[in-house]
Amino acid sequence: MPKYHINVKITPSRFLPPGKYLLIDREEGCLGCKYCVKKLCPYDVYNKRKFDSIQLRDTIDYYCRNCLYCVEACPGGTISLVVNPAYREIGDSYWKPEIITKIWRQAETGMIPVSGAGYRGPFVGSGFDNMWTDMSEIVRPTRDGIHGREYISTDIEIGRKLSYLVFDAQGKLTSSTPPLIEIPIPMLFCLPEWGNWGRSVLFSIAKAARTLNTLFIIPFAQFTKDFYPYIDNLGISVESLEEISALPKDVKLIEIPYSLSQNLQAIKTSYPQTIVMIKIPLSPEAKQRSLTLTKNNAEVLHFYADDHGLEFAEKPRFIKDIIKDIHLSLVDEGIRDEVTILASGGIAMAEHVAKTIICGADGAILDQLLMVALECRLCKDCMQGIACPIDIENIEPDWGAQRLINLMNAWRDQLLEVLGAMGMRDVRRLRGEMGRAIFYEDVLNEAFTSIKKR
Amino acid sequence: MKNWPPKEKKMPSRFKRPLGKYKIIKRASCNNCGLCVEVCPYGVYKFRGKNVFISDEYHCIGLSCNQCVEKCPEKALAVVKNPTVEALGDYRWTSDLILSTWYQAETGKPPDNMEYKIGNSGGGFDRLRFDFELEKQNLSLKEHVSTAINLNRRNDGRPQVTISVPWYGGGMSFGSVSLTTMLARARACMEWNSFTCTGEGGYPEALIPYKDHVITQVATGLFGVREETVKRARIVEFKYAQGAKPGLGGHLLGDKVTPDVARMRESVPGISLFSPFPFHSVYSVEDHKKHVDWIKEINPKALISVKVSTPVDVDMVAIGSYYAGAHIIHLDGSYGGTGAAPDIAKKNIAMPIELAIPKVHRFLLEEGIRDEIVIIASGGIRTAYDMAKAIALGADGVVTGTAELVALECTRCGNCERGRGCPRGIATTDPELSSMIELEWATQRISNLFHSWYLQLIDILRHLGMHSITELVGRTDCLFYIDKWSEHA
Amino acid sequence: MKRVVIFFCQNLSYNKEEIFKVLDFPSEISIRLMPIPCSAEISVGFLLKILETDIDAIFILACPVTSCQFGEGSIRAKKKVAYIQKILDELGLGKDKLGVFEVDNSENLQQIGRNIKKRCLSIT
């Protein structure tokens, strides 16, 4: 089988992203030196800066790299550096400006974010930030990541698997195997719950899904005739039984809300070769529902959290902890392998996909991330009837598709780095590998048992 | 020991207006009367001919003094908090830590108006504190306190190597940093009777005069590993992995592979170099022993150090290394520095050093071989207090990296691998950029920082009533952990 | 439709939403509220370039002189704006297109809002 490869093409943003640092030039006290430090900037930003007439700003914030040379070398001390307040406005408390600007860079270049100097963030955080992944050395085999010669597979299978097969006396298979889709990356696409995206955005996602050979879960209301050429890479999300009856027969995957789950058998009878995915909100009932549904022949379960990865409850737990819970309870019943679990909500970085899979999901579904890749800043002005500042409705679908393709390449490469470090050749092996993860609370207690607390 | 400790020597910044916490604004109404020059206890103002100018703004201690502002007859002066300081630093290296490291590199002692002990990462070392009330007894200043540690505890006939301070320099390769940086580190380490390490990129000839204080590193890229470089070192370090990018080899991006670097590494200029991971000849503990034996054969006198990352089973790796014949097990935690690494690896893979040290220390104790091997910890050791805490958690000594670069005025801008490299001339071999640093200046800056660390370690040991740093190893009873953490600056 | 840009110093004790609410503009005036690190950051060249676009008026909300973090940002902002206003006057374009206001408290902010609204409605 040929090695899976994603073709990347540099696809710059339409709007120059706000940079992190702004230079303030006081002017008063300028000594008029012959060799002004501005001419000696190692990154030549004083020549590159321009007036951005659309965003009404000085683009020096995009180019400045915070080396502080001009600040410290100017004898008059007229230059100061500050964090750009427009930068801080992007995103929110979970989708931080750093995360969003990194997504933009990956969507533009398709490359893994690499930087100098060690990790500079907090020791731990909440959510995905209180676990680390493992690596292998000496006593365990390793793989050489994206630069290696060994192929690391990122394929996953979506669908129901039988617990056992039945053969007749002649050795012929008598079990009827349910439909299964194999996708080359453990990530699917869908739309966020909010926003008016417009058809160009939908086409961008559909095109990207086709090129990457993954699935885009499109709402029934948006599935018009011109999406039909993409049918092999679409899943259709319905709200009612009427909508189901209007679906084309060759649709690969249908997503139904939890409220329609009792109609599963009826739907399967009408669409035997179609995979049915049940969309369940993450809540305290999710675990019990997963058990019941799996025992009743459910094929794929899509658990979703809110945009910050939190469940819908009074005291919300985080997505990875609930997935862990669900995964382990299915394992205890001995039925985990029968069903595919996909998770969405709060997946903002490539490491979140890896960690979600470690906690027991088969793969992740990306929603808000896709919009960010298309330059959305999560300002949510569209929800207030104000025009979108980045005019997302008018993007070119080919441009949009390539942004998503680039991003998926960067994320897949990061996944390969994590798998390679762990010595794994297959992402399916990563599912539920909690023994190879390092959970902060556990390690902290183990390491600091003898230290008194205050 | 004569000439101990080496003396500090004032070595100010290379820049005309180094960053300080406060900024001074002198308005045009200044009449050059010179009252501020007289009144300022920190020498901020000076005369140049008949005019007053701001000479050392960064010495200003700010609003708690305010003498010049109050006394100026024309009300021409204002002291404000320097806004650039907010753009400096991050959770691990806060602006205070960076500025106080610069201060220590300039003066050789810790500052008295800035935080110099802890950062703001909200975990690990930053939540551990020394329990100084523990030992009421304080040693008097007359009693001698030793900071030396032995690196060979195996009694295997190989020479003893003692370093006079419980730290040595981490491997930063030629190519990722400039030759001047490497030489400065080597000379400072020679003064302090410790070691620096060549890093992955080969052993530059210029380091040969300091060979007794240079560790040869054998890394997965095997750059510059030849019989003579192994034979000339007293310690040989196997770099299996690096904390900042566990599971990956070294990265040196194309623009930084200058002709000199390419020659040293026997590669081609302009082509990025990614070292493999792991050693492709080592896939088991037995292979590891073969590896160690190989070096031991070539150099019958050298001590072997094994540098590893911190996986879940780091204790197994440590015991495996012991049985393979290593003298030093060097644990490199995940929050360590690097010239270039994927962000996902820096943040997520392997565990921080604070959590790994007690694990390994306890396990080796249980196995009964703790006192036959030396544990060295690295990966984010920023201050003398981090060092002491690492030793209290169970290490024998530490390795530092980033801190030495900050002494050379690194601002942690993170542009190390971008283009030609460091805009301050530290982490680059580009001839124009690396000429920004002068060797004597750099050597003294690092030596001053070491001097400040030495003073602080002695002070901690005196408070704890210990005569030697070796008494601190594993003394977790001297620490306490801050349970309730509120995020604040 | 009048297009107005209002730059506000990030050190004011009001955030974007609060300022938006207090200013309470009618829908015929389309505002962009943009934070700046200090009112001194805006240079003369920058203001002139903005006036070249389809923006009708620019206003700067600055900190009171005594509380400027940079020492005297509001003073500098005033000087720059006065300089441009002189040019605009000479060109016959009217100096009301530009303005800088020091914000002391919320009543004062409301007063400024009324002031700006009046100016916007009067410019052609």
CA distance C89 to chain A (A): 24
Exposed, middle or buried, B3 (CB in 10 Å: 0-12/13-18/19+)?
exposed
How far apart, in Å, are the Cα atoms of A114 and each of A125, B255, B346, B416? 21, 15, 9, 11
**HEC string for chain B:** CCCCCCCCCCCCCCCCCCCCCEEEEECCCCCCCCHHHHHCCCCCEEEECCEEEECCHHHCCHHHCCHHHHHCCCCCEEEEECHHHHHCCCCCCCHHHHHHHHHHHHHCCCCCCCCCCCCCCCCHHHHEEECCCCCCCCCCCCCCCECCEECCCCCCCCCCCEECCCEEECECCECCECHHHHHHHHHHHHHCCCCEECCCCCCCHHHHHHHHHEEEEEECCCCCCCHHHHHCCCEEEEECCCCCCCCCCCEECHHHCCHHHHHHHCCCCCCCEECCCCCCCCCCHHHHHHHHHHHHHHCCCCEEEEEECCCCCHHHHHHHHHHHCCCEEEEECCCCCCCCEEHHHHHHECCCHHHHHHHHHHHHHHCCCHHHCEEEEECCCCCHHHHHHHHHHCCCEEEECHHHHHHCCCCCCCCCCCCCCCCCCCCCCCHHHHCCCCHHHHHHHHHHHHHHHHHHHHHHHHHCCCCEHHHHCCCHHHEEECCCCCCCC
The pLDDT assigned to B137 comes to: 65
**Is the pLDDT at B18 greater than 50, yes or no?**
yes
Mean pLDDT lowest among A180-194, A267-281, B42-56: B42-56
Write the class of the CATH domain B149-481.
Answer: alpha beta
Q: What is the pLDDT of residues B276-285, one digit of tens each?
A: 877 878 888 8
Query: What is the reported pLDDT for B365?
Result: 96
Closest CA relative to residue B406, chosen from B347, B341, B337? B337
Domains and CATH numbers, chain A: 21-87 (3.30.70.20), 145-443 (3.20.20.70)
Is C5 within 8 Å of A24 when comparing Cβ atoms?
no
Q: Which of A409-418, B275-284, B317-326 is the least confident region? A: B275-284
For residue B53, which of B39, B34, B74 has the smallest C-alpha distance?
A: B34
Percent of chain A exceeding pLDDT 90 equals: 70
Of the candidates B352, B363, B394, the one whose C-alpha atom is nearest the C-alpha of residue B376 is: B394
Q: CA C124, CA C110: separation in Å to the nearest integer?
A: 24
| Cβ–Cβ < 8 Å for B376, B305 | yes
Q: Which pLDDT band holds residue C18 (cuts at 50, 70, 90)?
A: confident
Q: How far apart are CA A169 and CA B180, in angstroms?
A: 79
Tell me if B83 and C37 make a contact (CB, 8 A cut-off): yes
Chain A residues close to C49, C-beta within 8 Å: 51, 53
C-alpha to C-alpha distance for A284 and A316, rounded to whole angstroms: 9
B257 in contact with chain A, both atoms CB, cutoff 8 A: no
> What token pair was written down for A385?
């009837």
Among chain B residues, CA nearest to A68: B411
Q: Do A450 and B423 touch (CB under 8 A)?
A: no
Tell me the CATH number of domain B22-81, given options 3.10.580.10, 3.40.50.620, 3.30.70.20, 1.20.810.10: 3.30.70.20
**Rounded mean pLDDT of A272-278?**
94
Distance of CA C42 to the CA centre of its chain: 11
* Average pLDDT along chain A: 91
- Which member of A22, A25, A56 has the closest CB to residue C5? A56
B151 within 8 A of B163, measured Cβ to Cβ: yes
Q: How far is CA B354 from CA A126, A219, A402, B371, B411, in A?
A: 19, 49, 43, 20, 24
Burial status of residue A414 (CB atoms within 10 A of its CB: 0-12, 13-18, 19 or more): buried
Which helix (H) or strand (E) segment holds residue A340: the answer is strand A340-344
Query: What residues in A contact C37, CB-CB < 8 Å?
Result: 22, 24, 82-85
Closest chain C residue by Cα to residue A83 = C37
A34-73 pLDDT, tens per residue? 989 999 898 999 999 888 888 888 888 889 989 999 999 9
* Distance between CA atoms of residues C113 and A137, nearest Å: 65
What is the rounded average pLDDT for all residues in chain B? 91
Residues of C in contact with B80 (CB under 8 A): 69-71
Q: Are B42 and B62 in contact (CB under 8 A)?
A: no
- Read off the pLDDT of each residue in B29-49 and give the average, rounded to a whole number: 88
Span B156-185, mean pLDDT?
Answer: 94
Spatial separation of the C-alpha atoms in residues A149 and A145, rounded to whole Å = 9
Band (B82; pLDDT cuts 50, 70, 90): confident
Q: So what's the pLDDT on residue B134?
A: 58
Mean pLDDT of B1-30: 86
Record: contact B480-A83, CB cut-off 8 A: no
* Interchain contact, A140 vs B84, CB within 8 Å: no
Q: How far is B7 from B10, CA to CA, in rounded Å? A: 10
* Three-state DSSP state, A325: helix
Mean pLDDT of B419-429: 88
Quote the CA–CA distance of A170 and A191 in Å, as a whole number: 49
Beta B167-169 vs A437-439: how paired, if at all? unpaired
Do A410 and A212 contact (CB within 8 A), yes or no? no
pLDDT value of residue B169 = 95
pLDDT computed for residue A147 by the predictor: 66
Instruction: Please tell me if residue A450 touches chain B, with a CB cutoff of 8 Å.
Output: yes
Give the pLDDT score at C93.
81
Torsion on CA atoms A421, A423, A429, A434, rounded to nearest 10: -60
Which residues fall within 8 angstroms of residue A301, CB to CB, at 6 or more apart? A277, A278, A280, A290, A293, A294, A339, A340, A341, A342
Note the pLDDT of residue A161.
92
pTM score: 0.93
Q: What is the pLDDT at residue B418?
A: 82
Chain A residues with CB under 8 Å of B122 CB are: 122-124
Three-state SS letters, A196-239: CCCHHHHHHHHHHHHHHCCCEEEEHHHCCHHHHHHHHHEEEECC
**Residues counted in chain B:** 489
In this prediction, residue B488 has a pLDDT band, given cuts at 50, 70 and 90, of very low
B contact set with C (CB within 8 A): 23, 25, 27, 78, 80-81, 83
Q: Tens of pLDDT along C77-106?
A: 888 889 888 988 888 887 788 888 888 887
For residues B39-55, give the mean pLDDT: 87
Q: With a cut of 80, say whether residue B441 has pLDDT above it.
A: yes
Subunits with at least 3 CB pairs below 8 A relative to chain B?
A, C
- The answer to whether residue B489 scores a pLDDT higher than 50 is no
Collapsed DSSP state (helix, strand, coil) of residue C51: helix
Distance of alpha carbon A301 from alpha carbon A160, whole angstroms: 10
How much is the pLDDT for A388?
A: 87
- pLDDT higher than 80, residue B486: no
- Please answer yes or no on whether C70 and A24 come within 8 Å at the CB atom: yes
Higher-scoring residue by pLDDT: A139, A234: A234
Per-residue pLDDT at C15: 81
- Confidence (pLDDT) at A144: 67
How confident is the model over C43-75, as pLDDT tens digits? Answer: 888 888 898 888 888 999 988 877 777 767 788
Cβ distance A24 to C10 less than 8 Å, yes or no, reads no
Q: Which of C10, C43, C76 sits opposite A85 (nearest CB)?
A: C10
Query: B59 near B128, Cβ under 8 Å?
Result: no
Q: How does residue B395 score in pLDDT terms, banded at 50, 70 and 90?
A: very high
Q: How far is C35 from chain A (nearest CA, A)?
A: 6
Contacts of A69 in chain B (CB under 8 A): 423-424
| Whole-number pLDDT of residue A1 | 53
* Bond prior to B5 in cis (omega within 30° of 0): yes
Pair of tokens at residue C48: 């002139």
For A74-78, A285-289, B99-103, which range has the lowest pLDDT when averaged over its residues? A74-78
Cβ A454–B124 below 8 Å, yes or no? Answer: no
List the 91-150 stretch of B: residues with Cβ below 8 A of A.
Answer: 91-93, 121-124, 126-128, 131
Q: What is the C-alpha to C-alpha distance for residues A69 and A23, in angstroms, rounded to an integer?
A: 12
A384: pLDDT strictly greater than 60: yes
Q: Does A214 touch chain C (CB under 8 A)?
A: no
CATH, domain range C2-122: 3.40.50.960
Our CA-based measurement puts residue B406 at a distance from the nearest CA of chain C, in whole angstroms, of 27
Of B25, B81, B83, the CB nearest to C72: B25
Least confident of A7-11, A304-308, A342-346, B19-23: B19-23
Average pLDDT over residues A81-102: 92
Confidence of residue B1 (pLDDT cuts 50, 70, 90): low
Q: In the predicted model, is pLDDT for residue B135 greater than 60?
A: no
> Cβ contact (<8 Å) for A51 and C46?
yes
Residue A396 has pLDDT above 90, yes or no: yes
In sequence order, the β-bridge partners of residue A275 are: A253
Interface contacts A/C by beta carbons within 8 Å: 42
Which chains are adjacent to chain C, needing at least 3 Cβ pairs under 8 Å?
Answer: A, B
Mean pLDDT for B147-173 is: 95
Q: B–C: how many Cβ contacts below 8 A? A: 14
Residues of C in contact with B25 (CB under 8 A): 71-72
Choose the closest CB to B355 out of A349, A447, A452: A447
How far is A281 from A302, CA to CA, in rounded Å?
8
Report pLDDT for A264.
92
Of A38-47, A145-154, B22-31, C35-44, the one with minimum mean pLDDT is A145-154
pLDDT at B354: 95
* Domain range summary for chain B, segments of one domain joined by +: 22-81, 149-481
- Cα dihedral sign, B405-B409-B415-B416: negative
Tokens of B415: 């542009």
Residue A2 has pLDDT above 70, yes or no: no
> Is pLDDT at B213 greater than 80 in this prediction?
yes
Q: How far apart are CA A251 and CA C57, in angstroms?
A: 55
The pLDDT, as a whole number, for residue A326 is 96
Calculate how close chain A gets to B166, using CA atoms only, in Å. 22
